[in-house]
Amino acid sequence: MVHRLVLRNLLHRPLRTLLTILAVAVEVTMIVLMVGVSEGLLTESLRRTRGVGADILIRPQISSAAIGGADISARLPSMLQDRYPLITQAMGATVFTPGNLQTITGVDWDQLDAMSGGVVLFEGRPYEAPFEAVVDEVYARQEEITVGQAVELMGRDFDVVGICETGKMSRVFIPLETMSDLQGWQGRFSQVYIKVAEGSDIRALIDELRELIPNRSVDSVEDFLALTATSVRQMSSQFVNIIISIAVSIGFIVVMLAMYTAVLERTREIGILKAIGASKLMIGSILMRETLILSVAGIACGYGLSVVGRELVSIRYPLIPVIFVPEWLAGAAVLTVIGSALGAGYPAWKAASADPCETLSYE
Amino acid sequence: MTTNTERPLIRIRDLRKVYRFGSVDVPALRGVSMDVQAGEFVALLGPSGSGKSTLFHIVGGMLAPTGGSVEIDGVRLESLSDAQRTELRKSKVGFVFQRFNLLPTLTAEENIRIAQHIAGRAGKDEGHFEELVRILGIRHRMRHKPSTLSGGEQQRVAIARALVNRPPILLADEPTGNLDSENSLVVLEVLKTLNRDFGQTVMMITHNPDAAQECAARVLHMRDGRISEPRRD
Ligand SMILES: Nc1ncnc2c1ncn2[C@@H]1O[C@H](COP(=O)(O)OP(=O)(O)O)[C@@H](O)[C@H]1O
Ligand SMILES: [Mg+2]
């Protein structure tokens, strides 16, 4: 019976109910998409690094691979390969990061092709001339580029000669020498990728390399990926947390306002319920049940909106991948329920402690 | 007939209530004493503001008195906690108000059922429910929302709600105050029947001296927070 009262109350003001559900849904969507984009960007970037197929990564110290610059001697790869027979391939690359955070990579295509076990070209061919470029299919979709078109990179026009699969090192590739010429990086690499023979002792090799070149960071690719994941998550979590707090605050305020107006317009009904013996707990729980229903409906709509949002992002911004993190789908729901319950707390308390005489005696 | 040796159902002694408006004290009851025996129909007449509703709210456990004592069915009211007073409203008294005070989103039947539910008596005492609905003549209106019922029908639903848990006392605060004369007669007739045929104890506030004389065995007058009981006959 009380359940029926709760439902009727919600249906009695359909617009208020819908708006509250919508606000909660937006709250959930904000959290899910925010976490999803941050996780998606990270995962994508890690996937590309893993896609190179290397076992060991050598970087300048401190600076991370994502930051541009090149100060590793270009002679290092061949020197290492000569010295350690178990190294089957050592490959240098230069990385330039323009303002839009899309890195441009200078690399020898044949070397990359060999190390990664083959980069599929969907269209066209690898670059052969200095001002030719290969882009991955996602970048091509985002920028609406086809083979034969020109793209402007670092202030110069490059002919796009090939479109490759995504997930191998970078989204935009240009010849190593062109990058060196344009950036003045002759004789230097940003990073060096090393592949070793099957079954070699990677740890031992890393230890030796660290002694050999103490002023460089030498890590296994797996360690590097884990390290990057942790530090990027730490950095982005602060920003993500701010967005989540804003989202939860919006839900809190909207639910509080909705329940507060509900209590105000229902003083008489609340008085009646009290007069016929309803306890404070019961009055409060009616409000809380309404809130719970609004929250659950909002969370369900929020999940739906998130899926729609992810599709829209993938159509409009293919470079921004959205990954739904299961823990955060649950986390968004929990935060939303807590925020809503807190928002309904004051109105519910106000209703529970209302004086029935005052509401009933005056005509 | 009741005798003086029987313990009264309601026993009120020197009851006082002062409302406080900031620093201003408004005395509403200035020492009310009265007994009501089980099975009585008592009418309370008196000008507006004389303290009638205040008396009912205290007897009904909705308001704490400032002084004096009220005993209902052996329970002393002034010492009750909030929760105990809630309990009293569930089990000892049924309220009927001038405004019909039905929950607008529930049907007539649901309005009655929710009182059963609150008292923890849902599904029990179906026979009583059916009998009330029959006596009050509202069976055919059970599925209707209050807004589609006439004033008299709404008030009869409110009476059914007040009595569905078999409270020993029915308190009716100007139950015909918002009704036309035809509907008033129906409601008064119902209250009379409930008292006469089912022994329901009724206390009723009214503005209408004729109605009071017609229904009640005893008519009390209230003025300035005090009761004067005129001699009958
Ligand atoms: N909740 C309240 N707060 C303050 N004063 C009140 C309140 N209820 C009633 N009063 C005052 O108490 C007096 C008695 O009121 P009431 O019991 O409603 O009288 P009646 O029902 O006979 O019209 C009046 O002066 C009224 O203004
Ligand atoms: Mg009154």
Helix (H, G, I), strand (E, B) or coil at A329: helix
Minimum CA–CA partner of B103 in chain A = A269
Predicted-complex ipTM score: 0.89
What's residue A65's pLDDT? 45
Among the CATH numbers 1.10.3720.10, 3.90.1200.10, 3.40.50.300, 3.30.110.30, which is that of B10-228? 3.40.50.300
Question: For the ranges A195-209, A325-339, A347-361, B116-130, which has the lowest average pLDDT?
Answer: A347-361
Residues of chain B with C-beta less than 8 angstroms from the C-beta of A9? 105
Q: Residue A191: beta bridge partners?
A: A93
Q: Which tens digit of pLDDT belongs to each residue from A31-82?
A: 999 999 999 989 988 999 999 999 999 998 865 444 557 889 999 999 999 9
**Distance in Å, CA A278 to ligand 2 centroid:** 23
Domain residues of chain A, as ranges? 2-44+233-361, 62-214
Residues of B in contact with A13 (CB under 8 A): none
Q: How confident is the model at residue A28 (pLDDT cuts 50, 70, 90)?
A: very high
Which residue among B57, B102, B117 sits closest to A1, beta carbon to beta carbon? B117
Q: Whose CA is nearest to atom 14 of ligand 1?
A: B51
Q: Which of A268, A276, A356 sits opposite B118 (nearest CB)?
A: A276
Question: Which residue's entry shows tokens 């026979």?
Answer: B127
Sheet of B218-223, strands arranged across = B93-96, B169-173, B201-205, B41-45, B218-223, B226-228
Residue B19 pLDDT > 60: yes
pLDDT at A258: 96
Cβ contact B89–A275 (<8 Å): yes
pLDDT class for A101, splitting at 50, 70, 90?
low
Q: Would the CB atoms of B110 and A273 count as touching at under 8 Å?
A: no
Q: Does residue A93 carry a pLDDT above 50?
A: yes
Q: Give the atom of ligand 1 at the shortest distance from the alpha carbon of B52.
A: 22
**Ligand 1 pocket test target in B19, B99, B220 with most atoms within 8 Å of CB:** B19
- Give the distance from residue B29's alpha carbon to the nearest chain A alpha carbon, in angstroms: 15
CB A145 within 8 A of CB A139: yes
What sections of chain A are H helices per DSSP?
A: 2-12, 14-51, 76-83, 109-115, 137-143, 176-183, 202-212, 221-265, 267-275, 280-316, 326-352, 356-361
Judged against a pLDDT cut of 60, whether residue A104 lies above it is answered with: yes
Residue A322: other Cβ atoms inside 10 A:
23
Write out the residues surrounding ion ligand 2, Cβ under 5 A: B 53
A274 to chain B, any CB pair closer than 8 A? The answer is yes
Report which protein residue has its CA nearest ligand 1's atom 25: B49
Question: In A, residues 232-271, which contact B (CB 8 Å cutoff)?
Answer: 268-269, 271
Question: Residue A87's CB: how many other CB atoms inside 10 A?
Answer: 20
Asked if the Cβ–Cβ distance from B118 to A273 is below 8 Å, we say yes
| Cβ–Cβ below 8 Å for B97 and A1 | no
Contact B101 A272 (CB under 8 A): yes
Instruction: Give percent of chain A above pLDDT 70.
Output: 96
The β-bridge relationship of strands A191-196 and A87-96 is: antiparallel
pLDDT 10s digits, A151-179: 999 999 999 999 999 999 999 999 999 99
Neighbours of B50 (CB within 10 A): 21
SS3 A271: helix
Pocket test for ligand 1, best of B53, B56, B171 (most atoms within 8 A of CB): B53
Q: Would the CB of B51 count as within 6 Å of ligand 1?
A: yes
Mean pLDDT of B178-207: 92
Probe site for chain A from B97, B100, B110, B118 (most A CB atoms < 10 A):
B118
Does residue A24 have a pLDDT over 80?
yes
Contact status, residue B11 vs residue B71, Cβ threshold 8 Å: yes
Both tokens of residue A175? 């010849």
Q: Please write the tens of the pLDDT for every residue from B112-124.
A: 999 999 999 888 8
Nearest CB neighbour to A363, from listed B91, B99, B113: B99
pLDDT tens per residue, range A223-261: 999 988 888 888 888 889 999 999 999 999 999 999 999
Long-range contacts of A6-15 (CB under 8 A, 24+ apart): A6/A286, A6/A289, A6/A290, A6/A293, A7/A293, A8/B105, A8/B106, A9/A262, A9/A266, A9/A286, A9/A290, A9/B105, A10/A290, A10/A293, A10/A294, A11/B105, A12/B104, A12/B105, A13/A262
Rounded to 5 degrees, what angle do the CA atoms A14, A19, A25 make?
A: 125
